[in-house]
Structure 1
Amino acid sequence: MIKNISISTFVNIIFFFAFLGIFLTFATFISYDKQRHELNIQNRYELIAENFLILFQDHPTPTRLVELYKKFSVKPIDDRDRRLEIIKYAQELTITQNYLGTYRVYKYDESYYIYVQQYGYNIMLRDTKSHNYNMAFIVAGFIVALSTFLLLYEILNRKLRPLKILNRQIIEFSNGNKDIKLNYKSRDEVGTIARNFNEAINIINNQSKSKDLFMRNMMHELKTPITKAMFIAETLEDEKARDNLQRAFKRMDDIIKELATVEKLTSKNTMIYKEKVDFSTIFDKTIDLMMINNQNVESRIEDFSFDVDIYMMSIALKNLIDNAIKFSKDKKASVQADKSSIKIGSTGEPLKNELSFYTDAFYQEEKRSNGFGLGLYIVNTIVNLHKFTLVYEHKDGKNYFNINLTN
């Protein structure tokens, strides 16, 4: 699962757990420090009480008591009513009894009191030292740690931000925007990737321009002699020879148009122009493009209207029917169409591989020496541009290529 998350998300998760660790560490430290603070107070009052109990055994003078008051920073409570009030309403923290006597520790109005009792002596002392727990130092430490943590997080995010920009620009480039140029000038790893990406873009653009120039020149150079040859063929007196030559030249012209269509589709800048049209119109245009008679095509059509690019859809249908006739055993194809699908069928052996294997550009099985391996690639691309799907199945000795019009 970790392999499938982005770097930025992974960093955010790490910093979240790091922040949680810092918070829990400080919370644990505060809890421990409070316990230590309370233990120190308890030890102090135990020491004060034992000193007074020992002094009581020697029948102390007022002077010695005053010395002990000063030594431990305590003050006696002489008012009997005040002592009774404290005993009655204060929070009793501890009560300890030993061979020297008994002492209790009270907390009342944010002050601590020690009540020491021994046979013949009874004294209540107020601790004049402040023992309120102060978290200022801990809070300051937490703020410093948190500030450092957030600073590191921001620095790391800034270092990762160019990666996000790089990813967006790579996606734009893959969608056909060839004018992408990364301006990240840093010499770190991201800068190296950006420079290499710019170089790759330049190479790809140069190759694409060379390919486009080659394709345009090749089609131009081929189209001119073919056009001239078609005019010359019309002057032949032998009707059969004339028809054969014209059919051959027309086929060569169709091949050039097919190559132009492939060039257009592979450029990823293809625009389709949809309009509402009857399927029968598409079918008739397809038959005209193929220059065949209907004897080779058996059709069962429930006419319907749909939004398509007429030329593109005719090209797709032409390629499917052409393949069906070319590679069938009886050189015939069947066309079934309704508003949900268009199905092209022909007799033959099932395909050896998955359909995706045959829709790669320029793929061609060895036995298919008469084609360029472009038919199914063109069909699949046009079908996808229309948001339809192309499906293959072999049933009852027939191959069926089905264009699903509803998803």
Structure 2
Amino acid sequence: MSIFKKILILFSFSFILMSIIGFWMDTINSNRIDSLIKEKYAKISYEILDNFNDINKINELELKYGLKRINNFESLENEVLYEENLTFGFVKIFQKFFQDEFILQIKYLNDEYIFQTKDEGSINDKLILNILIVLDILALIIIFLFILKIFSPLKQISKQITQFANGDFSTRVDIKSNDEIGKLADTFNNMASKLENLINTREELLRDIGHELRTPIARGKFAIEKIDDFSQKELMKKIFSDLEILTNELIELERLNSSKLNFEKFTNKKLIIESLQKIHFDNEEKIKLDIKDDFEIEGDFYYLCIALKNLIDNALKYSIKFPIKISSSKNNIQVISFGEELSRDIEYYLQAFTQELPQRNGFGLGLSIVKKIIDKHGFEISYHHNKENNSNNFILNVNS
């Protein structure tokens, strides 16, 4: 989960919690204020009721409590806060909907008083509390936006790091700030520059070594032709041939490490045929094809051809009987050779210069290149040994 999603979840939780607490406090405060208003005006109403027939006392109470006598009002436009029926009358307290005004209606026998008043103190307390709650929520939103602004450069840094990891070594982070994130961006840029220089130097070195080796190899192969001893001649040919293959693999491995894949769509049949055309063998009967299903593959055609070619080369080199078999079905391509089961896990043989036994030739860089190509595509390579026909099956899953 990204840091932005975590911040969003934390903010959402805080916002919901703050809203619930605000609603709960508003409800409690409203109930408290309603209770105080009922108590206050019920007391005033009964004080007026006790002096119902003393008009002078009624006038004094009006001034004392800030009451204003009115002749009538619409009860349907008001909410009843308090009501009590008496033996010869009643006392009612109303509040106008969505307003701060309160109405006292006191009736005794045939006489009736209606007073209008306000409770500014209690209402203001409630208003202040509501304002504080709204300000808290607004502050939470502002803090959330501020945190997003602080961490937004991390998204850019993450994007640039991903591009760098995918082979774009020239990418840099353009963030100008004096905080820790700015220092992180500067550190990444410095590291990227050093790594780019190191990688370029290594590429140039290996490329130069590869090209420099090809010249003496070519001269050596030419000089071999002048050797009269047949056995020595064949041995030297084998040595120079292996050296040439190793040099080519070294250059290919370096090119693979430093280049981006060129994805395109092609069929499994096209991949197999193109891979076979890259192999030099004297007898076509050494290979048998069994393509059961046609399916489409999306990947770098050039490098996948190299991967499949290396697997076929390896099978031709180590199989104890022929023909080897190349089969394809259900998004898989299998290269089947014959021989004893590998004594170690497949991952061991996918490393560079590994070998099965000390007295046998190593596997060079061929399978290591296969592993790198497959990993770059996100595909899978697996191996199993069939004891019934003593076959070694290397399987490329090209639909991972």
What do you get for the CA RMSD once the two structures are aligned? 3.9
Q: Counterparts of 1:166 and 1:27 in 2: how far apart (Å)? A: 41
* Cross-structure match for 1:32: 28
* Cross-structure match for 1:71: 64
- Partner amino acid, structure 2, of 1:336: I
Map 1:46-125 to 2 at 5 A.
Answer: 46-55=42-51, 61-74=54-67, 93-96=81-84, 103-107=90-94, 112-117=103-108, 123-125=111-113
* Cross-structure match for 2:218: 227
1:299 paired to 2:276: no
Q: Is the alpha carbon distance of 1:270 and 1:146 closer, same or farther for their aligned partners in structure 2, counting shifts above 3 Å?
A: closer
* Cross-structure match for 2:337: 345
1:9 paired to 2:5: yes
SS at match of 2:170: coil
Q: Is the alpha carbon distance of 1:232 and 1:151 closer, same or farther for their aligned partners in structure 2, counting shifts above 3 Å?
A: same
Asked whether the 8 Å contact 1:279–1:303 carries over to 2, the reply is: no
Q: Is the alpha carbon distance of 1:309 and 1:282 closer, same or farther for their aligned partners in structure 2, counting shifts above 3 Å?
A: farther
Measure how far apart 1:170 and its partner are.
0.2
Asked whether the 8 Å contact 2:355–2:363 carries over to 1, the reply is: no
SS at match of 2:338: strand
Structure 2 unaligned residues grouped into runs of 5+: none
Measure how far apart 1:101 and its partner are.
7.9
- Partner amino acid, structure 2, of 1:352: R
- Partner amino acid, structure 1, of 2:340: G
Measure how far apart 1:96 and its partner are.
3.6
- Partner amino acid, structure 2, of 1:192: K
- Of stretches 63-72 and 14-23 in structure 1, the one that deviates more from structure 2 is 63-72
Structure 2 residue corresponding to 1:209, chosen from 169, 194, 200: 200
Q: Counterparts of 2:381 and 2:308 in 1: how far apart (Å)? A: 12
* Cross-structure match for 1:334: 324
* Cross-structure match for 1:164: 155
Q: Is the alpha carbon distance of 1:67 and 1:270 closer, same or farther for their aligned partners in structure 2, counting shifts above 3 Å?
A: closer
Q: Is the alpha carbon distance of 1:142 and 1:357 closer, same or farther for their aligned partners in structure 2, counting shifts above 3 Å?
A: farther
SS at match of 2:51: helix
Q: Is the alpha carbon distance of 1:160 and 1:264 closer, same or farther for their aligned partners in structure 2, counting shifts above 3 Å?
A: same
1:149 paired to 2:147: no
Structure 2 residue corresponding to 1:129, chosen from 117, 128, 131: 117
**TM-score if structure 2 supplies the norm length?**
0.78
1:374 paired to 2:396: no
1:398 paired to 2:387: no
- Partner amino acid, structure 2, of 1:105: K
**TM-score if structure 1 supplies the norm length?**
0.77
- Give the number of aligned pairs: 384
Q: Counterparts of 1:356 and 1:267 in 2: how far apart (Å)? A: 23
1:261-303 CA-partner distances (Å, limit 9, x unpaired): 11111224355898884845643541x1xx56568x3534459
Measure how far apart 1:394 and its partner are.
1.7
1:312-342 CA-partner distances (Å, limit 9, x unpaired): 55543443244335555x3766223346534
Asked whether the 8 Å contact 1:114–1:125 carries over to 2, the reply is: yes
SS at match of 2:218: helix
* Cross-structure match for 1:200: 191
1:106-161 CA-partner distances (Å, limit 9, x unpaired): 538765133253xxx65422222135957654554344333322222222111101
Asked whether the 8 Å contact 1:74–1:125 carries over to 2, the reply is: no
Q: Counterparts of 1:28 and 1:274 in 2: how far apart (Å)? A: 61
Asked whether the 8 Å contact 1:92–1:104 carries over to 2, the reply is: no
Measure how far apart 1:357 and its partner are.
4.9
- Of stretches 253-262 and 106-115 in structure 1, the one that deviates more from structure 2 is 106-115
SS at match of 2:310: helix
Q: Counterparts of 1:269 and 1:32 in 2: how far apart (Å)? A: 65
Q: Is the alpha carbon distance of 1:203 and 1:357 closer, same or farther for their aligned partners in structure 2, counting shifts above 3 Å?
A: farther
